A and B are shown apart, each in its own frame.
Chain A
Amino acid sequence: MRRYINKWTIWGALLVIAGIWAFTVRDWHQLWTISSAPDNIPIVAMLFLVPFFTWLGVRQAVANDRLVEQLEADPKLAKVHHRKVEPWRPGWARELHVWPYLVRIEFLATVIVTVILFVWSITLNAPLEEPANPNLTMNPSKAPWYFLGLQEMLVYFDPWIAGVVMPSIIMVGLMVFPYVDSNPLGNGYYTLKQRRFALLMFGWGFLMWILLIVIGTFIRGPGWIWFWTGQTWDHNAVVFDKNIDLHDWVATSRLGKAIGLGFLATNSVAKFLFGFIVVSVFFVVGALFFHWLMTVDFKRIRLPRAFSLREFHQALFPKKELEQKLLARTSLLQYLTFQFFAVSVLLALPVKLLLRLTLTIKYVWVIPWLNINF
């Protein structure tokens, strides 16, 4: 399997996917209207820049990891000064100065960025949109591109949660993470192996955010209705979306009725308790999931060979030594803090997104007395 994954097959696969996607596009004019809007230019650029820089970083990280492996295998070599991204070779200067070797690259980058900004500002003017009219708001009425993720979140959560709580948690989380990080490795250079879990979590969160922005830009049309790319944004389009709370969904489902959960639809205390239980279970399960992610050795995951608890445990939860060590260095406070942020943002967001999009679930936990819903 592995030997078929090379750059040709990857490019080929990307081309096939693009072809299939292009085949589904019915309205190129619409797609062009969206993509060419001056305020959408950063997002279109992001579509290409994010994968490119991700790829660039991963490539560097892979190279570094190999170097680390090499150096670790040879203690003598490890003691030699070496450039962080490549082993030292004879004839090379042992140390490089910031000036000129770094500064000239930075200067070059500055010049190139300046040229880009110049050209951008000359060719693209700020767009003129509808005059503000409280009686007739624009449709779709979209936030600036960097807020589109936030706006998209409003679809999935109670406005208070999506607009206030979640953003606060995200910001506080970003501030807190350096302090919950107990890993001394991987500072100042690209690496995958040494910061596997941290990168996974960051990449997850970052890509999720990008995804929300892309959905907000390309997918959401008039009435904030889901239009696949290449579908005409019809102002007269109608969808029937009846969002129901989880307890109502359970209470009215055939199974729910059969096992006598109908009271969930009427009894507000029961609703509250039901939601509380579901959320609690979610947090416990989520925490366990993250714990597993933290420690698992992906390479050793395999199908269980026998039907026993031990075999299941060995097959699905193989532990990795480095991660175990890191975990051991982590204090309980650090661990719990991380778990809280991870479950309530990184996991809750996609789970709720899927619940909403597939099962039209509105809220999971309704607290009628406080008017706060989760």
Chain B
Amino acid sequence: MADAPGAGESLIKKEPDLPAYDPIVSNSTSGWMLVSALLLTLSIAWALYDEAFGQRPWKGMQREFVARYTRYLNSIKANSGKTEAEIIESPEYQQLKADEDAARAEVKDEMAQIDVEVARAQRKLDAVTDTFQNQRGRLTVINYNVETSQGSAKDRYRRQAEQKRQEQVTVELPSDDGKSVEKQRLNYAQLEKLYDDLREQKATGLGRKAELLKKPSELAKKKDDYLKNNLIGLGPAAIEGLKTKMGAYDYSILGHQLSVNAYNIVDRCEVCHAGIREPLNIKASDMAPDGPGKEPDSLARAFVSHPNREVLRIHNPEKFGCSSCHWGNGRATTSEMKGHGRHRFWLWPMFEKENTEAGCQQCHSRDRVTQGSEVLNLGRDLFSERGCMGCHRYEGFDRETDSLAGTRQQIGQLEDQIRANEKQIREDEGASGTDEEVKQLLAHAQGLRVTNSLLAARIDQMNLQAKYLMQDQKKVGPNLKDVRVKLRKEWVPVWLHDPWAFRPETKMPRFWRFANPLEGRANMQDKDAEDQIQAIAAYLWQEGFDSKLPSQAQGNAGHGKELFESRGCLACHSIGEGDNKIGGHFAANLQRVGEKANFDYIVRWIHNPRDRVAPYCPKEKRDLTADDYAKKGLPFVFDTELHSRCPNDGAELQVQNMTVMPNFRLSESDARDIATYLFSLSSPPSYQAANFMDDPKLKDKGRALIKQYGCAGCHEIKGFEDEQRIGKELTVEGATPIERLDFALQTQHAEEGEDPLKLRPDEKEHKPWYNHKGFFERKIEEPSLYDEGKEKDPKDKLKMPEPYLTPEWRNALTTFLLGSVGAEGSNVPSSLFYTPQDQRRQDIQNGWWVVKKYNCMGCHQIQVGQRSVVQDLPFYQTPEGKDLLPPRLSSEGARVDPAWLLRFLHDPSLSGEKTPAQQQQINALAGPSPSPQASPQASGSPPAATADGQIRLHPQPGLDRNGVRPYLNFRMPTFNFSPNELQMLVRFFMAMSGQQDPYIKEPMKPLTAEERLVARQMFTSGTPCLKCHITGDPAHDAKAIAPNFLLASERLKPDWTFRWLLDPSQISPGTAMPSGLFRKEGDRWVVNLAQPPQSAVNYHDDHAQLLVRYMFLLNPDEQRALLATGPATTALPTAATTQHHASAKRKKVRSHHRRSPVRAVLGRQAAETFKTQLGEIK
């Protein structure tokens, strides 16, 4: 361009013949054009491909599913026949088949006989029918004519009809053997009778045949059911059907989309997860790319069927969709990432497999226990048991504390109102004015007085409620007002420094600001950690009760060990260390209790843990002393029953320790023995002296620190009785926007997947954890993490201490938190939440809170399939050990009378009426001058001084006594429930068994003398009931392993008892109660004996019902009579001794069941005796 040619010259020149190269005209763009056109074509092709396949990856998945599933179906089709054949060959099936055949053979002859008879009748019937029907037809015509004709014609027809009736017709009846024919001439009446008789004969025969076939057909059904239940998967026909379905597979989204209009749910999960609801149970290996049984790939894992069909049945996907439980993005189909909602801005990312049950919590947030959500239930258990709720409010947890605060506030308001009214009354009455005005004012004052009395009544109600709430209010940790009397002084700072060093796995969290022994985290420790510990210890020590406890002598450690292992302590507590540890984790491990505690205190604690040193008055906000009582001239006595009010102002007091530990009604010496045993497990080391704990200068600092760390969340501490929770409310924590979770300096680590805690060391790839799960897991694993590297004032540092967690526990708690999203954070409308409207399910929901609070499941099985802690203890693994376990309560509501259950839960010793012996015992224990104010339910009364000046523990009512099952070593302890909780528990058990509310007891029909005799005979013959059941006779009861019949009428429900008699093993598998005592005979149950007593044979009503009535009407006299004559105590060899011979007993019980001849004879003898007796009575 720059080198333009000489200008002037070119102007004159003609254009040359050959044009020069023109940059525009001569340049061709075809090359460019071609390339661009090709690119355009390619990009259009790409766009089309993307539209058809790139954006529809599910199409490939569907094709793959159909291919793999069809292959799988083919592979099992051959097998399905084989498996059926295998089952048919199995001994069980063969046995059933043999039973059926035997039953058929049994009736074969009779059946043949009936067939012959029926055939005979039929032959005769054939011969008669035609003739009879002809005659009848003609007669009907004549009768019609009679009816319609007039005058003389009528009479004529009548005569005709009479003739017809008298007319003799001939029938040719075949003889019985069918060989000859007998001619008979019969008139109409005779003919009709013959016809009817023959029909009757035939019907009877057929009826008998059906009756005979009943048993064989029942057995045949049983056999077929067995085949059906044991055939894995489906039969060949069904598989063929599935294959046909695959052949016509609907390759679309809409065909597999779940739309729930009501809840605005549209889920397309099944577009890819096509096997989820297949009738077959598809496993990943079935869908492996290289054929069934090979190594599955990720696609195969996506094609499996839903692992929990039961859950799917209750939550039908057609109604709930998928994403409502699992979260994720139900509408996305273009990629796994999008469908599962794994996008940082998607609010509901799919829960990880291990946290799936978080989805349950979303709707079941008001449940304490949700059936089938084991991980979630564990999370809830941990949240309450490990003390999370001490600092963090969570709706539903620790409801007593919340309602107590509300109740107290209301009482305060009402009192203010009363005061204001009183002031107004004084003003009204003091005012002057005209007569009319004064009159009006006086009337007003009068009205206010009435109002005040109403308000006072309300306050009384509320006070009562407050009392119950205080009774039910519990703390996770021990009462620290007791430290002085309970603990070794030097031990307190040692414990505070690092509780896990002393007692690994304890509930007490490790305060990382005091000590952080974890690798690389020591720098998180405060510089003045030691000073802080000293200050806290000093405050606790100086503020503790200084009281004198009865001093206790050493007991028998051997006996203590026996008691500790057998009474039920291990349902909550554990003992031993490391691999030797046994017992539950609901309460502390007691291995090293001797190193820290005062022996006298522990004896007192075991004796009655609710026993409080001094009551606390929430109104005056202080602990009352003996002086307070003395001033009013009252004895220093306080208990939950009668003495729960403050002597100064009548306010309800906190009269018992806030512990769930119940009272085992042990004698003082037993308590001593257990304590001695516990103290024998460790020898106290010498700790560094801790004189600073008496330094009053440290108190203020200690107080501030206790407030800062929130110790009062779990412990009772003087001066902190009304302390609020210091942690964040967690009810909807899972819905916190991720931006509001303080990852602090870990944000970048979280986003890049670098894990400073190495929670999953075996996982190779770095997985980003900038999400709720990542945050929660690390927050509870190591709370100091989010303070690492931060420059903060000590008071601003994170307060949360480090809880002890196993990886399983951590996951359970994380699941619980992830699901805690409330209505706002949930991805389903709150109308889907589980809020039962019917009373029954509400009762269940409420009851679980109480059941879990007191760890009932440590001893009892409440749900089918659940295991109690004691069940897994090494001592109860033998058959005889299993007999000694606490009763299974899965059908408790159906079994017992609710009124009785209430009484029992209130006082499990059922010692409301004490036997003289017991009273004597109590008196003896109480010493010569028992406190006159002591109520029967005294809990928390102070030690009473005996004449010799020795302070003794208060006597126990119902001492050493089990109300229902004295034969058990386990002791149903006294929990001291408030009426609120008693009611909740009873309703819970009733609701769990689907019982009607209210329960109205039907009166029992009295027995006739004859019935009584029959019942007695049944009672004593065959399996004599009184052999195992308790009677009240100590010599006999030593061997008994079942409750007393005298309790039955008030304790049991007749319907349940009836079912129990018929088949106890169905209600409580493994029970010692024998099954098959009765057999069905027609509609009724009769006693199942080879040679039943004659009177029973003559008795034509239901035997089992009769026995129930007899049991319910049994009185002590009758029982004594039975016992005196029954074979149980006399005839039996008494090899079985008191302890641990249950198996022998059981064997014997079973042998009775087999009706040994000896037993049968004895039974008859007993019957004879009774007959004689009965005669005498008459």
Least Cβ distance of A205 to chain B in Å?
Answer: 30
Chain B residues lying within 8 Å of A129, measured Cβ to Cβ, are: 345
Provide the B9-20 mask, 1 if CB < 8 A to any CB of A, else 0.
011010110111
Bound Cα distance A131, B345 (Å)? 7
Least Cβ distance of A343 to chain B in Å?
Answer: 39
Chain A residues lying within 8 Å of B633, measured Cβ to Cβ, are: none
Chain A residues lying within 8 Å of B39, measured Cβ to Cβ, are: 111-112, 115
Residue of A nearest to B37 (CB): A111
Provide the B50-88 mask, 1 if CB < 8 A to any CB of A, else 0.
100010000000000000000000000000000000000
Pick out which of these stretches binds chain B: A34-42, A180-188, A228-236, A364-372.
A228-236
Chain B residues lying within 8 Å of A121, measured Cβ to Cβ, are: 47
Residue of A nearest to B21 (CB): A91
Is residue A308 within 8 Å, beta carbon to beta carbon, of the partner chain?
no
Is residue A324 within 8 Å, beta carbon to beta carbon, of the partner chain?
no
Q: Which of B1-60 contact A (CB under 8 A)?
A: 1-2, 4-5, 7-8, 10-11, 13, 15-16, 18-25, 29, 32-33, 36-37, 39-40, 43-44, 46-47, 50, 54
Is residue B346 within 8 Å, beta carbon to beta carbon, of the partner chain?
yes
Chain B residues lying within 8 Å of A122, measured Cβ to Cβ, are: 43, 46-47, 50, 54
Is residue A321 within 8 Å, beta carbon to beta carbon, of the partner chain?
no
Q: Which of A90-132 contact B (CB under 8 A)?
A: 90-93, 96, 101, 104-105, 108, 111-112, 114-115, 118-119, 121-122, 128-131
Does the CB pair B43–A119 fall under 8 Å?
A: yes
Is residue A89 within 8 Å, beta carbon to beta carbon, of the partner chain?
yes
Provide the A311-339 mask, 1 if CB < 8 A to any CB of B, else 0.
00000000000000000000000000000
Residue of B nearest to A88 (CB): B10
Does the CB pair B40–A115 fall under 8 Å?
A: yes
Bound Cα distance A74, B6 (Å)? 10
Least Cβ distance of A134 to chain B in Å?
Answer: 12
Chain A residues lying within 8 Å of B1148, measured Cβ to Cβ, are: none
Does the CB pair A87–B4 fall under 8 Å?
A: yes
Chain A residues lying within 8 Å of B33, measured Cβ to Cβ, are: 104, 108, 111
Does the CB pair A114–B345 fall under 8 Å?
A: no
Is residue B748 within 8 Å, beta carbon to beta carbon, of the partner chain?
yes
Does the CB pair B744–A111 fall under 8 Å?
A: no
Known A-B contacts A90-B10, A129-B345; the reply to A111 vs B36 at CB < 8 A is yes
Bound Cα distance A279, B18 (Å)? 69
Known A-B contacts A90-B15, A91-B20; the reply to A74 vs B7 at CB < 8 A is yes
Does the CB pair A108–B29 fall under 8 Å?
A: yes
Does the CB pair B748–A232 fall under 8 Å?
A: yes
Is residue A70 within 8 Å, beta carbon to beta carbon, of the partner chain?
yes
One of B5, B10, B19, B739 near A136 (C-beta < 8 A): B739
Q: Which of B988-1015 contact A (CB under 8 A)?
A: none
Known A-B contacts A87-B4, A105-B29; the reply to A139 vs B345 at CB < 8 A is no
Least Cβ distance of A188 to chain B in Å?
Answer: 16
Bound Cα distance A118, B737 (Å)? 37
Bound Cα distance A118, B39 (Å)? 10
Does the CB pair A66–B25 fall under 8 Å?
A: no
Known A-B contacts A76-B11, A77-B8, A93-B22; the reply to A139 vs B739 at CB < 8 A is yes
Bound Cα distance A121, B13 (Å)? 56
Interface size class of B (residues with CB under 8 A): 35 or more
Chain B residues lying within 8 Å of A76, measured Cβ to Cβ, are: 7-8, 11
Does the CB pair B11–A77 fall under 8 Å?
A: yes
Residue of B nearest to A110 (CB): B36
Bound Cα distance A234, B740 (Å)? 14
Does the CB pair A29–B752 fall under 8 Å?
A: yes
Residue of A nearest to B8 (CB): A76
One of B20, B50, B745 near A236 (C-beta < 8 A): B745
Known A-B contacts A101-B24, A105-B29, A114-B40; the reply to A90 vs B8 at CB < 8 A is no
Chain A residues lying within 8 Å of B343, measured Cβ to Cβ, are: 128
Is residue B446 within 8 Å, beta carbon to beta carbon, of the partner chain?
no
Bound Cα distance A80, B6 (Å)? 13
Chain B residues lying within 8 Å of A87, measured Cβ to Cβ, are: 1, 4-5, 7
Does the CB pair A91–B4 fall under 8 Å?
A: no
Is residue B347 within 8 Å, beta carbon to beta carbon, of the partner chain?
yes
Chain B residues lying within 8 Å of A74, measured Cβ to Cβ, are: 7-8
Chain A residues lying within 8 Å of B29, measured Cβ to Cβ, are: 104-105, 108
Known A-B contacts A101-B25, A115-B39, A119-B43; the reply to A234 vs B11 at CB < 8 A is no
The SS class assigned to the A binding surface is loop
Residue of B nearest to A80 (CB): B11
Is residue A6 within 8 Å, beta carbon to beta carbon, of the partner chain?
no
Of A105, A128, A133, which is in contact with the most chain B CB atoms at under 10 Å from its CB?
A128
Does the CB pair B1–A234 fall under 8 Å?
A: no
Bound Cα distance A131, B10 (Å)? 72
Bound Cα distance A26, B33 (Å)? 45
Does the CB pair B25–A89 fall under 8 Å?
A: no
Is residue B747 within 8 Å, beta carbon to beta carbon, of the partner chain?
yes
Chain B residues lying within 8 Å of A91, measured Cβ to Cβ, are: 15-16, 18-22
Chain A residues lying within 8 Å of B740, measured Cβ to Cβ, are: 136
Does the CB pair A92–B747 fall under 8 Å?
A: no
Does the CB pair A136–B737 fall under 8 Å?
A: yes
Chain A residues lying within 8 Å of B1, measured Cβ to Cβ, are: 63, 66-67, 85-87
Does the CB pair B25–A108 fall under 8 Å?
A: no
Known A-B contacts A93-B25, A115-B40; the reply to A131 vs B47 at CB < 8 A is no
Chain A residues lying within 8 Å of B32, measured Cβ to Cβ, are: 108
Residue of B nearest to A114 (CB): B40
Least Cβ distance of A87 to chain B in Å?
Answer: 4
Least Cβ distance of B1037 to chain A in Å?
Answer: 70
Does the CB pair B20–A92 fall under 8 Å?
A: yes
One of A66, A128, A235 near B747 (C-beta < 8 A): A235
Least Cβ distance of B772 to chain A in Å?
Answer: 15
Least Cβ distance of A241 to chain B in Å?
Answer: 21
Chain B residues lying within 8 Å of A105, measured Cβ to Cβ, are: 29
Chain A residues lying within 8 Å of B752, measured Cβ to Cβ, are: 29
Least Cβ distance of A23 to chain B in Å?
Answer: 21
One of A63, A139, A232, A236 near B744 (C-beta < 8 A): A236
Bound Cα distance A29, B768 (Å)? 14
Chain A residues lying within 8 Å of B16, measured Cβ to Cβ, are: 90-91
Least Cβ distance of B666 to chain A in Å?
Answer: 58
One of A70, A96, A232 near B4 (C-beta < 8 A): A70
Q: Which of B939-963 contact A (CB under 8 A)?
A: none
Known A-B contacts A111-B40, A118-B47; the reply to A130 vs B345 at CB < 8 A is yes
Bound Cα distance A76, B8 (Å)? 7
One of B2, B21, B40 near A66 (C-beta < 8 A): B2
Chain B residues lying within 8 Å of A139, measured Cβ to Cβ, are: 739
Bound Cα distance A129, B346 (Å)? 8
Least Cβ distance of B771 to chain A in Å?
Answer: 14
Does the CB pair A128–B11 fall under 8 Å?
A: no
Least Cβ distance of B11 to chain A in Å?
Answer: 6
Chain B residues lying within 8 Å of A66, measured Cβ to Cβ, are: 1-2
One of A80, A89, A128 near B345 (C-beta < 8 A): A128
Bound Cα distance A222, B332 (Å)? 30
Provide the A26-48 mask, 1 if CB < 8 A to any CB of B, else 0.
00010000000000000000000
- Can you offer 10 A-B residue contacts whose CB atoms are under 8 A? A74-B7, A77-B11, A90-B5, A96-B24, A96-B25, A101-B25, A114-B40, A118-B47, A119-B43, A121-B47
Seed contacts A87-B5, A101-B24; 17 additional CB < 8 Å A-B pairs: A74-B8, A76-B7, A76-B8, A83-B24, A86-B1, A89-B20, A90-B16, A91-B19, A92-B19, A108-B32, A112-B36, A118-B46, A119-B43, A121-B47, A136-B740, A234-B748, A235-B747
By a beta-carbon cutoff of 8 Å, the part of chain A in contact with chain B is 29, 63, 66-67, 70, 74, 76-77, 80, 83, 85-87, 89-93, 96, 101, 104-105, 108, 111-112, 114-115, 118-119, 121-122, 128-131, 133, 136, 139, 232, 234-236
* The 8 residue pairs across chains A and B that have the minimum distance between CB atoms: A91-B20, A77-B7, A91-B19, A118-B43, A87-B4, A111-B36, A92-B22, A115-B39
By a beta-carbon cutoff of 8 Å, the part of chain B in contact with chain A is 1-2, 4-5, 7-8, 10-11, 13, 15-16, 18-25, 29, 32-33, 36-37, 39-40, 43-44, 46-47, 50, 54, 343, 345-347, 737, 739-740, 744-745, 747-748, 752
